[in-house]
A and B are shown apart, each in its own frame.
Chain A
Amino acid sequence: MSILPSDIPGAEPGSPDAVTTRPEVAEVSREVRPAPPRYRNEIGKYGIYRASHCADCGRCVETCRHGVHVRPEGYLHVMRPYDYRCIGPDCKNSGSCCIDACPQGALRLSDNPVSGTMGDHRWTPDLLMSTWAMAETGRPPGMHLESEVGASGGGFDRLRFRFPDAPPPHLRREDITTRLPLNRRDDSRPRIAIDVPWYGGGMSFGSTNIRALLGKARVAKAFNGFTCTGEGGYPDRFVPYKDHVITQVATGLFGVREETIQRAPIVEFKYAQGAKPGLGGHLLGDKNTPSVAAMRGTVVGVPLFSPFPFHSVYSVEDHKKHLDWIAHVNPRALLSAKVSTPADVDMVAVGIYYAGGHIVHLDGSYGGTGAAPNVAKKNIAMPIEYAIGRVHQFLEAEGIRDRITVIASGGIRTPADVAKAIALGADGCVIGTAELVALSCIRCTACESGRGCARGIATTDDELLEMLDVEWCTQRLVNLYAAWRQMLVDLLYRLGLDSVGALRGRTDLLTHLDYENET
């Protein structure tokens, strides 16, 4: 199925939602293929410098197993080292070290000074680089990168798994399932299940490059998962992937139409979001381009505020009315409610179940992709690590834990975070920033400045949009998902578990580095 430009309402030739690359093919392969970085000088942990007395003998090309040294067919000179692939000093013991092999002594290894300037406590340089490596290769990153935890000093970063001495002898990696059922209500609605226990979070058309959004939709299709529209409306270019797109109903109700509710397998109510719990959204006027305005039914160039909260919901009864409304418009949709993490998050979750929700999506306070006041990002609502356990226990005590799916988000950076969230009591996760990092976001956090993201990801600027390509975005995300799945399966194998479902609530498999761990 293809979408031609004429199918798209309000699309001018050259406008961001006109088909500027070839129309998407609805079929998307899960196959891993190399997706090299889109910048000439990718940033790695180490630098390899080749001195001018290199004799171009090519010994380094033969020696290196990591693709640092390349001499294309028919070329005399060896290319400038792809040093971002270098695994560093540990290579010395591997027998494939270019520095030792070089007869001229022309190669030198050092730390890359740029890598130390990247990232922050939650997304360390190593986490950024390991995500890039996964997105390029589809494989787990090398041991030279700390790819499991950040340096925030709490929560996931201080939790570790307690592995048994040896996995059960009969357990085979290929038998481990990562499938996650989303409908546990035992009602007439479809038994939707996804192949990996995470899906893509909502980013709106208007905040994010449509090509990145399409990449997200396509990887959702490839992995039989989901992406979410965010609150910017449902671009027609999503239609080929409609079985994998969640329609979000947020407080601004931008782009919410009968047909976008009816075509969605899951409809998500966004009550609040972790990036700015308790605050409304704000799309800057500059980002409200003609195509965005057409999608949202607004005037070009006007800043768009999403109020907080839903002004039609002031009680749990109102919430039920909301869900009933969607349930009747689309009798086949699963209902999800995305909430932030206040002190009474456990009560909120119970309320969502009794109002008819299939999924409670908890968005912790440290996550989010969109621009938000720093004061809110840091201070309002609790981190997701605390909320998961509270909700899980409360639902268990209420006797309804197995009738609702708990999804955690807000700071899920790695497959290890996914596993920890599940061990704490979630069923699965939603990821956002990790996907953007795979598309080479460096978390400079200037998403809202000037023309928008300088890396072409969170922007609607015509020129910056051109920096991304749908195929490339898709492949980077496919590779990321494949690597995550492989790492998650490996983790389950080492834990001796045959499914992600078996990991849920297994806090006995966790330890915390700041505790005595003697209970």
Chain B
Amino acid sequence: MPAKYAIHHTTAKPRFRPIGKLGIVDWREDCSGCHNCVKRSCVYRLYRDEADSLRDEVGYLDYIYQCKGCLSCVQNCTKNILTRVVNPEYRRLGDGYYTPDLVLSTWYQAETGKIPVSGAGYGGPFSGPGFDSMWTDMSEIVRPTRDGIHGREYISTSVDIGRKLPHLSFADGQLNVDPPPLVETPLPVIFDRIPEHWNRGAVLAAIATAASEIGTLAVLGEADIRENEGSVRGQVVPFLTTPPAPTSPSGRSAPFVMIPDGPDAMAVQAALKRDPSAKIVAIRVPAVPTAAGRVADLARDGADVILLAFDSHGMEQGTSQPRHARDVLRDTHATLVRQGIRDEVTLIASGGIAAAEHVVKAIICGADLVAIDVPLMLALECRLCGECRRGQPCPIALEEIDIGFGVRRIVNLMAAWHSQLLEMLGAMGIREIRRLRGETGRCMFFEDLERDSFGRLFGKRKSGS
């Protein structure tokens, strides 16, 4: 058997004090000085050094990140002068989509490479918009492998990128067609272009190096590749803005390139394919309301790979009533299936893929694989504060980031995501992520469950609820 695909992780401590959720505040003026301070008995030993580090502001505040909020000190204090508070900085982290919890969870995964684990059941909302209105299935008795998901047998997370033939044909016992080239990535996640304001220091180099370390791909602008010449190696997909410069070294040598969609996208693809080195061309299509039709047209005309670009929250672009990627992908997938061309084209979903579960869910909805951007930046400790976009200095000095550190953080995040993919695939009884594409039977949608369970009993669902 070939070696199992595994992503090795090594702890990468954050460079800056992360923002924690909870902290303990005390009102010292009322302290009775009982010399029996309950903080000293903290199970997690967070306060052991507090007295020594009072002068050292950094050390003193460290515990705000580490406090687990067990309330033992608050509830045992002689004078009841301790209060637990939610860190206001925590509340300001991210936005409604990249919630503070999601940011912290991503930081944890980028630091440790491990799956976030907690006890006491699920405490979140019953369901939510987009991917939060899907539950993946499980099986009581069927398991994809005989000795567990980390056992000897394989659960494959590999996907192929490229055009596929509708069927093979033979003449005189010999294959008489040339199968188009394919790229295989061992993880159904590639790294998408990041917005310009994040392009500082070694960020791009770290992303590209991390991609090549784990065997996936990174999409980089042509100019970025030129700028980082030397440090950007490995599996880079140049994004060629029109008109493609056939002389550009990256465009020429790369086996896989990406171009923007446009009226002449197929002509550009044809021009690129005239290059003697067999090329795979991906077309980046903005996810506007007519995208399903556009994707089908391109696929029929012979497109290899189509990347459907949603906004950073996974929503459609260019409409006042955008749908979530969940629905657009299902629509697009179904359109391709109806036209009998689904298997010929590779569909990549980009934008709003924020967690491992989104990878699985996007694939269930019909994507072959996903591309990510914001999570890469979160892995590099970004706080999504937006200062860079306003031209202000980055509070975590991204421009000074060490490339090795950046690579470790991104690799760790992908290691944690890979483990989570295995968990979810294992529970579904699926051994091969390629087989999950469009498999909506392996998940349950909120509206279906509501209709079957409650619609039957209580009639119509109120609009807006």
Contact = CB atoms under 8 A, between A and B. Distances in A.
Interface string A366-394: 11111111111111111101100110000
B121 A40 contact: no
Given A152-B126, A275-B121, A342-B138, A378 B357 contact: yes
Given A310-B141, A381-B137, A515-B454, A446 B356 contact: no
Interface string B69-100: 11110111110100111100000000000000
A374 B424 CA distance: 11
Given A40-B77, A517-B458, A375 B420 contact: yes
A121 B460 contact: no
Interface string A425-446: 0000000010010000111111
B124 A378 contact: yes
B460 A455 contact: no
Nearest to B126: A154
Interface string A92-127: 000000000000000000000110111111110000
Grouping DSSP codes into helix (H, G, I), strand (E, B) and loop, the A interface class, with mixed when no group exceeds half, is loop
A385 B83 contact: no
A254 B423 CA distance: 23
Contacts of B72: 39, 454-455
A279 B427 contact: yes
Contacts of B427: 277-279, 376, 380-381
A277 B70 CA distance: 27
B428 interface: yes
Contacts of A289: none
B126 A155 contact: yes
A39 B75 CA distance: 6
Given A375-B115, A512-B457, A519-B458, A451 B123 contact: no
A342 B139 contact: yes
A308 B70 contact: no
Interface in B412-447: 420, 423-424, 426-429, 441, 444
Interface stretch (B142-150, B179-187, B245-253): B142-150
Interface string B115-145: 1111111111111000000111111111100
A308 B449 contact: no
Contacts of B44: 449-450, 454
A11 interface: no
B137 to A, nearest CB: 5
Contacts of A370: 119
A516 B124 contact: no
A433 B75 contact: no
A61 interface: no
B390 interface: no
Interface in B100-122: 105, 115-122
Interface string A482-511: 000000000000000000000000010011
A335 interface: no
Contacts of A157: 126
A41 B74 contact: yes
A271 B121 CA distance: 18
Contacts of B74: 41, 43, 114
A183 interface: no
Contacts of B78: 40
Contact of A447 (B76, B118, B424, B444): B118
A447 B72 CA distance: 14
Contacts of B83: 113-114
A375 B138 contact: no
B122 A309 contact: no
A87 to B, nearest CB: 19
Contact of B135 (A314, A382, A433): A382
Contact of B117 (A305, A310, A372): A372
A464 interface: yes
A343 interface: yes
Contacts of B454: 512, 514-515
Interface of B: 22, 43-44, 68-72, 74-78, 80, 83-86, 105, 115-127, 134-143, 146-148, 355-357, 360-361, 420, 423-424, 426-429, 441, 444, 449, 452-462, 465
Contact of B426 (A279, A433, A518): A279
A515 B121 contact: no
A116 B124 CA distance: 16
Contacts of B444: 343, 382
B137 A42 contact: no
B112 to A, nearest CB: 13
A117 B23 CA distance: 10
B457 A507 contact: yes
A509 to B, nearest CB: 11
Contacts of B428: 278
A416 interface: no
Contacts of A168: none
Nearest to B25: A113
Given A307-B148, A373-B420, A375-B115, A511 B121 contact: no
Contact of A380 (B69, B124, B424): B424
Given A122-B123, A154-B125, A307-B147, 6 more contacts: A117-B69, A272-B138, A278-B139, A380-B138, A381-B427, A454-B43
A464 B86 contact: no
Contact of A371 (B105, B117, B361): B117
A348 B140 contact: yes
Nearest to A377: B122
12 contacts: A122-B123, A153-B125, A278-B427, A375-B423, A380-B137, A380-B424, A381-B427, A383-B135, A444-B68, A449-B44, A514-B454, A515-B455
A39 B76 contact: yes
A458 B357 contact: no
Contacts of A450: 43-44
Contacts of A122: 121-124
B453 A366 contact: no
Interface-centre pick from A40, A123, A311, A366 (highest chain B CB count, 10 A):
A40
A123 B74 CA distance: 20
B43 to A, nearest CB: 4
Nearest to B455: A515
B135 A117 contact: no
A448 interface: yes
A357 interface: no
Contacts of A441: 120
Contact of A308 (B117, B357, B426, B452): B426
Contacts of B455: 515
Contact of A446 (B80, B119, B355, B424): B119
A317 B230 CA distance: 62
Contact of B22 (A113, A117, A120, A366): A117
Contacts of A271: 140-141
Contacts of B441: 343
B51 to A, nearest CB: 21
A310 B148 CA distance: 11
A319 interface: yes
Among all A-B residue pairs, the 7 with the closest Cβ atoms: A278-B427, A154-B126, A447-B119, A120-B123, A278-B138, A515-B458, A454-B70
A366 B127 CA distance: 11
Contacts of A88: none
A386 B83 CA distance: 39
B121 A42 contact: no
Interface-centre pick from B72, B126, B127 (highest chain A CB count, 10 A):
B126
A371 B459 contact: no
A314 B142 contact: yes
Contacts of A447: 118-120
Given A309-B140, A365-B135, A518 B460 contact: yes
Nearest to B143: A309
A188 interface: no
Contacts of B462: 514-516
A21 interface: no
Given A122-B121, A380-B424, A454-B70, A305 B138 contact: no
